[in-house]
Amino acid sequence: MKKDTIALHHGYDHKKCEGTMAVPIYQTTAYAFRDASHAAALFDLKESGSIYTRLNNPTTDIFEKRFAAYEGGTAAIATSSGMAAIFSSIINVAEVGDNIIISDKLYGGTVTLATHTLKRFGIEARIFDADEAKNLEEIIDDKSKCIIFESLSNPQIAIPDIEKIVSIAKKHKILTICDNTVASAALFNPIDWGVNIVVHSTSKYTTGQGTALGGVIVESEDTVNILKNNDRYYHFNEPDVSYHGLVFSELDAPFVQRVRLSVIRDTGAAPSPFNSWLLLQGLETLDIRMQKHSKNALEVAKFLESHPKVKRVSYPALESDKYHKRAKKYFKDTLCSGLLSFEAESFEAAKKIMNSTKIFSIVVNIGDSKSIITHPASTTHQQLSLKELESAGISPSLIRLSIGLEDSGDLIEDLSKALRD
């Protein structure tokens, strides 16, 4: 099946559900077992089925299967938020004394998680330059557990040298984790380029209308080969005492299985069935929405680029953009999603623009069907020091736009007035 068909049909058989065309919402906490031995077989993984909604749920299960197929992976697990997906992925492989290698261009929440919260767990974050991956190889050692980067970074709108990062990772048999939230699974599929683990905040484009918080982790078929008999991932190759001696590398999709049976079992960041249902609705229209988001964003970017009061525009579909060559190489039809940023003349000018737009709402979200304007220095990235801001490439006058599905002419007129005021 091609992606457009997967988005609508994969993983669900209406014949088994009274002919119901929409996937039913299984709004339940727990499930009755046929008898004691059925319960034992489920816990022992001898039979598959639902046990408790913290571990699995039939509605969520369909979303997971569908999303995994759509991203080109073998398995997926949905989580309660994007941050839960990122945290779960990291602690699935790293523990006290280990280090993780992170891109210098990441979502603010991921930066604080990696450099502050995980530090308190004894996990060190080492930062590499994602543009050229120049210093990547030299900071990897035998305690390095994963390399994390974003395919289209929020808020810099940068595209890393994905091929180079993956080739270095393969050489050292270390897992790559790509946050594909901004690009979306419709426009880019990291697994096609050799990435092992793909994470998303599904709160953004996947749900699409700003209605459900969620996250997802997708595992590539190849991941088991990195984990198996690799001393770096010894805990996947030894009997797990918390799961009566299970050896995870002997299972299919060991990364996702371990997130489910160990990490989410113990930390509890599972999604609600209702949110999984909303995400299924979103996935159905993801591709056509991403086309319109991208088309609108390019028109707005071209307008801003030609405006005298705009110092710089970052949008990789623009020919003048630093990442244009990579956008052409990696993204479907050079469609670059709905996120763009530009630099106003000053911090004060940026604030004035924020206060003058009428259609754009001041919201710290992206990927909504409605257009959004954000000032990272005073909101999403406020907890970063000036030095951290600078090294993340965020100037105080930077404005980030998440272009929605409105008429592009209306959006341009709104910005034009705000820049004039």
Ligand X SMILES: *Cc1c(COP(=O)(O)O)cnc(C)c1O
Residue type, 401: L
**Rule CB under 6 A: which of 357-386 touch ligand X?**
366
Q: 10 Å Cβ neighbour count for 157?
A: 27
Q: Which stretch binds ligand X (CB under 6 A): 15-23, 106-114, 234-242, 292-300?
A: 106-114
- Tokens matching residue 270: 């599972």
Which residue in the set 50, 74, 144, 154 belongs to the binding site for ligand X (CB under 6 A)? Answer: 154
Which residue in the set 185, 213, 401, 405 belongs to the binding site for ligand X (CB under 6 A)? Answer: 213
Q: Is 189 in the site for ligand X (CB under 6 A)?
A: no
Residue nearest to ligand X (CB): 82
Q: Is 82 in the site for ligand X (CB under 6 A)?
A: yes
Q: Is 81 in the site for ligand X (CB under 6 A)?
A: yes
Q: How far is the CB of 86 from ligand X (least distance, A)?
A: 6
- Answer for the pair 158, 165: CB distance below 8 angstroms, yes or no: no
Distances (CA, A) of 23 to 13, 60, 272, 274, 275: 9, 10, 15, 11, 12
Q: Residue 312 and residue 182: Cα distance in Å, rounded?
A: 20
* Residues binding ligand X: number (CB under 6 A): 17
Q: Is 215 in the site for ligand X (CB under 6 A)?
A: yes
**Rule CB under 6 A: which of 217-276 touch ligand X?**
none
Q: Is 343 in the site for ligand X (CB under 6 A)?
A: no
Q: Is 203 in the site for ligand X (CB under 6 A)?
A: yes
- Answer for the pair 399, 381: CB distance below 8 angstroms, yes or no: no
Pairing of strands 398-402, 372-374: antiparallel
The closest of 391, 7, 63 to 217, measured between CA atoms, is: 63
The smaller minimum CB distance to ligand X, of residues 310 and 339, is found at: 339
Q: How far is the CB of 369 from ligand X (least distance, A)?
A: 16
Q: Which stretch binds ligand X (CB under 6 A): 121-129, 198-206, 227-235, 259-267?
A: 198-206
Q: Residue 396 and residue 393: Cα distance in Å, rounded?
A: 10
Q: Is 261 helix (H, G, I), strand (E, B) or coil?
A: helix
The smaller minimum CB distance to ligand X, of residues 26 and 87, is found at: 87
Q: Greatest CA span in the chain, whole angstroms?
A: 73
Which residue in the set 176, 201, 257, 374 belongs to the binding site for ligand X (CB under 6 A)? Answer: 201
Q: Is 183 in the site for ligand X (CB under 6 A)?
A: no
Give 163's contacts (C-beta < 8 A, 6+ positions apart): 193, 194
The smaller minimum CB distance to ligand X, of residues 84 and 93, is found at: 84
Q: Is 7 in the site for ligand X (CB under 6 A)?
A: no
Q: 10 Å Cβ neighbour count for 108?
A: 21
End-to-end CA distance of the chain: 51
Q: Which stretch binds ligand X (CB under 6 A): 78-86, 166-174, 219-227, 384-392?
A: 78-86
The smaller minimum CB distance to ligand X, of residues 110 and 296, is found at: 110
Q: Residue 258 and residue 88: Cα distance in Å, rounded?
A: 10
Q: Which stretch binds ligand X (CB under 6 A): 197-205, 278-286, 320-328, 351-359?
A: 197-205
Residues in the chain: 421
Q: Which stretch binds ligand X (CB under 6 A): 175-183, 221-229, 242-250, 315-323?
A: 175-183
Q: 10 Å Cβ neighbour count for 308?
A: 7
Could you list the residues that contact ligand X (CB under 6 A)? 81-83, 107, 109-110, 150, 154, 179, 181-182, 201, 203-204, 213, 215, 366
